[in-house]
Amino acid sequence: MTELYQKLEKIVSKNYISDSIYVRHAYSRVVDPVLQGVPDIVIRPKDAQEISEILQVANEENIAVIPRGGGDCEFGGSKPIENSGIVLDLKRMDNVVNLDQDNLIVTVEAGISWGKLNDYLCNFGLYTGCLGPGSGLTASVGGGISHQSVGGGGCAKYGSCTNQLVSLEVVLPTGQIIETGSQANKHSKFPFNRFGNGPDFASIFCGDNGIFGVKTQISLQVFPKPPFASYKTFLMPRKSEEVSAKIFTEMRLKGIDVYDSMYFMDLLVRVGTEKGIFPLWDNLKRKRGIMFYTVEANSDKELDGKVNQLDKIFEKNKSEELGSEIADGNIGKWHYEDQGHWLIAHNLWGLIPGFTALDAECHTPISTYPGILKDVDLWDVEHANEMEQILEIAGMRPITGSGPIILIGDHNVELTTGFTSFESYIDGEHYEIIEELNIKLWKSLLERITKHGVTWYMLGDILSRLLVEIGAFQPEYLQFLTLVKKTLDPRFILSKGKFNFWGDT
Amino acid sequence: MSELKHLKSQWEAVMSCMGCGDCGYAIRPAVDRYLTCPVKEAKGGEGFEIYFSRGRMNVLKSLLLGQIPLSKELADFVYQCSECGNCTEVCHMSQNEYIVLNTSKWIDHVKVWEALRQDLIEAGFAPLDKHGKLIDYMNDVSMRNPYGEEEANKFAWISEFPEIKEEGDLILFGGCTMPLRQVDTLKSMMKIFKAAGREIAMSKNEWCCGSIALRIGDQNSLIDIIKHNVEIFKEMGAQTIFTACAGCYRTWKKDYPELLGEELPFKVKHITEILTEMLNNNEIPFKPVEGSETVTWHDPCHLGRHMNLYEIPRDAILKIPGLKFKEMKRNRNNSWCCGAGGGVKSEFPDLALDISTERIKEAIDTGAQILTTSCPFCIGNFSDAYKEMEPKDQEKINIIDIIDLIAGKI
């Protein structure tokens, strides 16, 4: 047992720390199976104080610390970038600390999942509005804040989950524990406001990808869940990419507070029905794009008004309403009523054994995505040779395109673009060439999309470093980012390697 | 390094796991899903990811890639799993026939865990101590049961029931746990059959079904056991064999045909199917009803998730006079395991009790006075946990096999 291990064990006690090779490998991957990094030690801390002490030891020993929430980042966000470091599994910290029903603010430990939090809130007729990321059944609230997550439901109306942030308790990389917003005032009795008392310091931890601090407690605004809702699904006309963008824009121009709206591109509908993912669309006369909306209201009358407005937009754009039941093709019903919003991103998984999607998630203005998708198609053609190589080994040519395109706040959409590939282990053989092709193609596509000016919101291992390597950041921005990092984390121990912040190794 | 022969045969499943982690954390009230892994939850703060499916799948990927070896240390983690199959349910849980999660085509987690266990056994890192003894006893020609008791003890109870025939259409497979640990329930069963005028046969030459060895991953002597058991029932002229044990039922109905590579020459039923037939035909002469009690049903994993037998026991309960039925929060495919399966009870008894206690508390939360089920392992584990509960909690509920529940009303 190393001296480091002994010091850490003293902090958390022996049951909550492990250096077993099996425990370490259990934490060596996140949702992307392609990127791997094996930690030296895994710890399940119980609170901010323990994390503070762990970080102090890590600074003394100059060892990387990687916070991990639900482990749902698709891009290597919560595993070590190299084979070393301490993974902090924050899932032990998954309690609701307080629900302030008068002021509609909930305070939770950072490891709680969006699913667990919303299950708790529904007892009070409340919800979080934005329901976090598409992996919200497991993904943690802390991870959501660290990634500016969106896409798991409610994001057309409420935007990214950081929009609802009120206050954070954060352990800084050097071990100090701070609170932000209203809690900066030592006389404040409870969190109630993110802004004021100086700069909005909570913001620097929003979307920081875990490099500036470890979130330990989070206060979020919560909202009464409206008692009425309607959800309709439509078959799109030709040129559905352009038409869907037009519909999203018209929803925004009319100021309708649609709760969710999504567009499934033609390719997704076609492949999804061919491969048996979407039997609900088997009987479509044309396998074209699909769009749905969900709208909530506090009365029947209010609901009718919104539905009429929305239906007119779809009708004007020659979209054909499908039946009201899931069996009729109404995926909006499944999304809302069956909480499918936390599974909709899972459908492509396991299409065939070893199948994996190498993609990334960005925000882009509504008007831009048809152009990006066309360029992605072009990228696919340009890389036909590499695709053929994968086909020869895996028996299926990669598919390039986008998952469901989701209307989010700020008149943007969330675009999940990428290509499908395979893990390198296929039927008893390990294909290193697949590993090489995966990384090469992944980086190439991400670079291509970056040049469209998008904002990536969950950067993880691959994107945070790629953006630096390809010079995507404005030099002054990167300089400022580096300065903040250096100030907060002089030894660069927290989430070491992200944005190529390696420090003195 | 081991050849990983069995695990390699499951590579499609292992490599189809994307690591979303819902097998550890999913709470989705819209489909009555409230968490998944009883072992992880029982571990509480110590619930490292190695204790539930996602972490294990990551380890298996590393094993297949040759990054880490099999070992005794791994076996100690791997056997802390009741093989309840709840992770499979979550993995496949679009819960709608019109929207399919493709992992459902490739991943049967229990098969993966059993393949790994087979490799651990073949590499000499398993069985663990107590499991090894169970298998030795099971294979011992003087015992043929995992309890280490003389073979004759298993059949001693039959002497009280001369009406049990030596051959016939409907034949009981008695198994080991009931005759050796819960024999009163078998006697209750005979009370029901007698009252209903039903005849059954039984053999004194049946061997342990082999479930324990299958679940532990030791298939060395299984084919001999299967052939022996099938042959004796064939000779007795069986049209239907039935069992009151959920583990035996799964083994006979699912594993035997798979391992033999052919269908069995007779039907296999669980006692709840027989009881439901009898209740539907009004064959059971119940006493006049006085008052009513509320009962809740625990789905044994080997009956429910493993065999999809959910509604028949409920149909039976609804036909028993004087009972009101109340579901637990987690029921059917979302049901919480009792904690006994997969060899957990024998090797990690405290873990089994912790899981069981949670399930009993869930039953108490329904307000039911009776928790009933139809699996001797569940009953045994519940009873052990019940004994350790506070008297104030014990007063709230009784735990009883559905056979005893029915027999008590005749």
Domain ranges of chain B: 5-122, 138-278, 286-407
Query: In angstroms, what separates the C-alpha of A249 from chain B's closest C-alpha?
Result: 28
Q: What is the pLDDT of residue A348?
A: 75
CB contact under 8 A, A279 and B99: yes
Just give the CATH number of B138-278: 3.40.50.1860
The arithmetic mean of pLDDT across residues A24-49, rounded, is 95
B97 → chain A, closest CA residue: A279
Query: Would the pLDDT of A128 be above 90?
Result: yes
SS3 of B6-44: the string is HHHCCHHHHHHCCCCCHHHHCEEHHHCEECCCHHHHHHH
Mean pLDDT (10-residue bins), chain B, 410 residues: 87 93 95 96 98 98 97 98 96 84 88 97 97 96 97 97 95 98 98 97 97 94 95 95 98 97 97 98 95 97 98 98 97 97 98 98 98 98 98 97 98
Same domain, A357 and A237: no
Query: Would the pLDDT of A184 be above 60?
Result: yes
Q: Which long-range contacts (CB under 8 A, 24 or more apart) does B386-393 make?
A: B386/B360, B388/B353, B388/B357, B389/B357, B389/B360, B393/B360, B393/B361, B393/B364
CB contact under 8 A, A279 and B100: yes
Q: What is the pLDDT of residue B357?
A: 98
Rounded distance, CA B141 to CA B85, Å? 32
Strand partners, A108: A96, A218
Same domain, A277 and A159: no
Same domain, A237 and A209: no
Contact yes or no for B363/B296 (Cβ under 8 A): yes
Domain that holds residue A281: 228-345
pLDDT, mean over chain A: 96
As a whole number of Å, the CA-based R_g of chain B is 21
Contact yes or no for B318/B280 (Cβ under 8 A): no
Contact yes or no for A359/B111 (Cβ under 8 A): no
Same domain, A219 and A99: yes
Q: Which residues contact B25 (CB under 8 A, 6 or more apart)?
A: A70, A91, A113, A115, A116, A137, A138, B35, B36
B106 → chain A, closest CA residue: A353
Rounded distance, CA A323 to CA A284, Å? 11
Rounded distance, CA B92 to CA B90, Å? 5
Task: Quickly count: other Cβ atoms within 10 Å of residue B309's Cβ.
Answer: 22
Maximum pairwise Cα distance, chain B: 67
Can you tell me the ipTM of this complex?
A: 0.97
CB contact under 8 A, B19 and A26: no
Domains B138-278 and B286-407 are alike in CATH topology: yes
Contact yes or no for A45/A12 (Cβ under 8 A): yes
Number of domains in chain A: 5
Residue A48 in domain: yes
CB contact under 8 A, B30 and A338: yes
Tell me which chain B residues have a C-beta less than 8 angstroms from the C-beta of A71.
19, 21, 49, 54
Lay out the sheet containing A96-100: strands in order across. Answer: A96-100, A105-109, A214-221, A165-171, A177-179
Closest partner residue to B15 (CB to CB) among A92, A135, A423 is A423
Q: Where residue A425 falls among pLDDT bands split at 50, 70, 90?
A: very high
Residue A505 in domain: no
Q: What is the pLDDT of residue B1?
A: 47
Query: Among residues A60, A91, A122, which one ends one of the domains?
Result: A91
Rounded distance, CA A97 to CA A99, Å? 7
The arithmetic mean of pLDDT across residues A298-307, rounded, is 98
Rounded distance, CA A224 to CA A226, Å? 6
Residue A216 in domain: yes
Query: Among residues A91, A117, A145, which one ends one of the domains?
Result: A91
Query: Among residues A91, A119, A138, which one ends one of the domains?
Result: A91
Same domain, A152 and A166: yes
Just give the CATH number of B286-407: 3.40.50.1860
Residue A329 in domain: yes
Q: At what angle do helices A3-12 and A48-61 cross, to 10 degrees?
A: 170
Q: What is the pLDDT of residue B359?
A: 98
Torsion, Cα of B233, B238, B242, B247 (10° steps): 30
Same domain, A441 and A469: no
Q: What is the pLDDT of residue A100?
A: 98
Paired tokens of A124: 């009070």
Tell me which chain A residues have a C-beta less than 8 angstroms from the C-beta of B99.
277-280, 326, 331, 334, 340, 347
Query: Would the pLDDT of A505 be above 60?
Result: no
Contact yes or no for A290/A331 (Cβ under 8 A): yes
